[in-house]
Chain A
């Protein structure tokens, strides 16, 4: 990364030349080819086509990030694609295996319930006290819908979190793209004023679910509150409580993932509810990359605060020159700032330092993770669609 890759920060920056952008994209192109076409990978014509489309898609998006020097808009294309294609691939697999989205008790007893990352924070205390995982899955790869097993998902989560911290919520989560896509639909928000105390919602949900999970000795969030059971799978209701639980998740999905994002143009489930997001916020303290506000340039016009999809900027935090703990490193504030006061930053360096270098280093790490994980989900969804078309 040559230092003259950085352009002056004041005013509208000219796009990077196509040649230089292509050069910066080359590592990601090679990475994509490695991820999708390595020996022992997916075989079959449909998969090859799906992998090829995904490799081109991810590489093109990164090229556009390099060319335009903007992050948010191109990242959002990737993220929404993951959010849309994950349910397509997952539900198809579920229906093919057992003919229903409802998890029968047999599958739970057999340890074949797929493990997603959401219950990770809830399993820690029961595991610490009793060495027991309160989830009906398999620790090791168990076949069937269990896929790679609990240990694999936890290992994946640890590795990605080590690299990008709460950037997980912008580059890895396979649910957040749904509401980000819905939030992008209207031109303007209908609800503009949101009480900032709702930002504390995820912490309350996390605390309640951790306590209830320890008491009930089950993953309380999965059983009671996860809105994304509407686009994946759910425990088949066998009694009144089961019906109540299923009713709750449908209402939460409709409200937090569809209606409120449409009305507010915010990622409301992520900002006001997701307990995993609250847990991930802790890793923003350990992540080397962050977003800072250069006080010598900031006006403040609070455009960044308005643009932030998760309300991770407040007047107080802007005055301190930083984002809140909930920042997902999506880049919306940096892209919208007219004075280039919001900048990508590496901890320990000066503000503003070399923001474009910080951005590039972060994006190489984040996009590598995105290609590896999100890319496989996109390819799976495309393969499913091709399977139906073919």
Chain B
């Protein structure tokens, strides 16, 4: 929840108000996040935890994912400018005109990238999974890891209760841009092979 919050909260705020639309968006986000976890589980098991243990190959990979996530967020923030078009000026309610499929695709892309962003607890879980007997066991491990962590996402559906207006969407877009800057700084530093933390 803490890892995905900076990405999920502002992107949810650019979507329709209402518990159902937010639940749908969250489902797409979490589904793609699970896919990201399963992909990582398979990779980690297949190469015997090599990618997850050695810092050198891991850092450019993490850096690349972070840069991709930053670009995705910037594009999302930019494309959300159409959400508040003429229908929005001066009015309180928002008519979000983008199709449901495109919104679902954006949610899935963000979910996949946050799933792959390899936060430290996730890496630790990956090392554990890589030590298991088979790729099926590794995937099952991550499914349980996913279910256990996804429970914490349920409260995010409550963001649907916040009325959407031009101010809320503008704040959400700006927040996405700031979070993108953070991921971009880290990603670039990791791609350069520089020591990131400490």
Binding site for B on A (CB under 8 A): 197, 200-201, 203-205, 207-208, 211-212, 214-215, 217, 220, 224, 238-241, 244, 316
Chain B residue at minimal CB-CB distance from A220? B182
Chain B min CB distance to A226 (Å) = 14
Q: Which 10 A-B pairs have the closest CB atoms?
A: A204-B174, A240-B194, A208-B178, A215-B2, A211-B6, A239-B195, A204-B175, A211-B5, A203-B171, A208-B175
Asked if B196 is at the interface (CB within 8 A of a chain A CB), the reply is yes
A240 to B189, Cβ gap below 8 A?
yes
Q: A-facing mask of B185-198, CB < 8 A → 1, else 0?
A: 11001001011111
Q: Can you list 24 residue pairs at the A/B interface with Cβ under 8 Å?
A: A204-B172, A204-B174, A204-B175, A207-B171, A208-B6, A208-B175, A208-B178, A208-B179, A211-B5, A212-B6, A212-B179, A215-B5, A215-B6, A239-B197, A239-B198, A240-B189, A240-B194, A240-B195, A241-B185, A241-B186, A241-B189, A241-B197, A244-B185, A244-B189
Chain A min CB distance to B76 (Å) = 14
Chain A residues within an 8 Å CB radius of B111: none
Chain A residues within an 8 Å CB radius of B19: none
Q: How large is the interface on B (under 10, 10 to 19, 20 to 34, 35 or more residues)?
A: 20 to 34
A215 to B196, Cβ gap below 8 A?
no
Q: Which of A204, A238, A239, A241 contacts B171 (CB 8 A)?
A: A204
Asked if B27 is at the interface (CB within 8 A of a chain A CB), the reply is no
Complex Cα distance, B197 from A226, in Å, reads 19
Asked if B3 is at the interface (CB within 8 A of a chain A CB), the reply is yes
Q: Tell me which residues from 168 to 183 in chain B have a Cβ below 8 Å from any Cβ of chain A.
A: 170-175, 177-179, 182
B182 to A224, Cβ gap below 8 A?
yes
Chain A min CB distance to B167 (Å) = 6
Chain B residue at minimal CB-CB distance from A240? B194
Chain A min CB distance to B61 (Å) = 18
Complex Cα distance, B5 from A217, in Å, reads 13
Complex Cα distance, B6 from A205, in Å, reads 11
Complex Cα distance, B192 from A257, in Å, reads 31
B9 to A207, Cβ gap below 8 A?
yes
Main DSSP-derived SS at the A contact region: helix
Asked if B10 is at the interface (CB within 8 A of a chain A CB), the reply is yes
Q: A-facing mask of B87-122, CB < 8 A → 1, else 0?
A: 000100000000000000000000000000000000
Chain B residues within an 8 Å CB radius of A215: 2-3, 5-6
Chain B residue at minimal CB-CB distance from A247? B185
Chain B residues within an 8 Å CB radius of A220: 182
Q: Which of B5, B172, B174, B196 contacts A239 (CB 8 A)?
A: B196
Complex Cα distance, B10 from A200, in Å, reads 14
Chain B residue at minimal CB-CB distance from A244? B185
- Beyond A212-B6, A214-B5, A215-B5, is A205–B194 a contact (Cβ under 8 Å)? no
Chain B residues within an 8 Å CB radius of A205: 174, 178
Chain B min CB distance to A272 (Å) = 10
Q: A215-B3, A241-B196, A316-B90 are in contact. List 17 more A-B contacts (CB 8 A).
A: A197-B170, A200-B170, A200-B174, A204-B171, A204-B175, A205-B174, A207-B175, A211-B6, A212-B179, A215-B6, A217-B2, A220-B182, A224-B182, A240-B189, A240-B192, A241-B185, A244-B189
Complex Cα distance, B170 from A217, in Å, reads 26
A214 to B2, Cβ gap below 8 A?
yes
Chain B residues within an 8 Å CB radius of A244: 185, 189
A238 to B5, Cβ gap below 8 A?
no
Q: Which of A204, A239, A241 contacts B178 (CB 8 A)?
A: A204
B198 to A238, Cβ gap below 8 A?
yes
Q: A-facing mask of B149-174, CB < 8 A → 1, else 0?
A: 00000000000000000010011111
Which of A197, A215, A224, A239 has the most CB atoms of chain B within a 10 A radius of its CB? A215
Chain B min CB distance to A215 (Å) = 4
B171 to A200, Cβ gap below 8 A?
yes
Complex Cα distance, B3 from A386, in Å, reads 50
Complex Cα distance, B181 from A220, in Å, reads 13
Chain A min CB distance to B142 (Å) = 21
Chain B residues within an 8 Å CB radius of A212: 6, 179, 182
Chain B residues within an 8 Å CB radius of A208: 6, 10, 174-175, 178-179, 182
Chain A min CB distance to B192 (Å) = 7
Chain A min CB distance to B105 (Å) = 23
Which of B2, B9, B90, B192 has the most CB atoms of chain A within a 10 A radius of its CB? B2
Chain A residues within an 8 Å CB radius of B173: 204
Chain B residues within an 8 Å CB radius of A200: 167, 170-171, 174
Complex Cα distance, B185 from A212, in Å, reads 14
Complex Cα distance, B77 from A204, in Å, reads 12
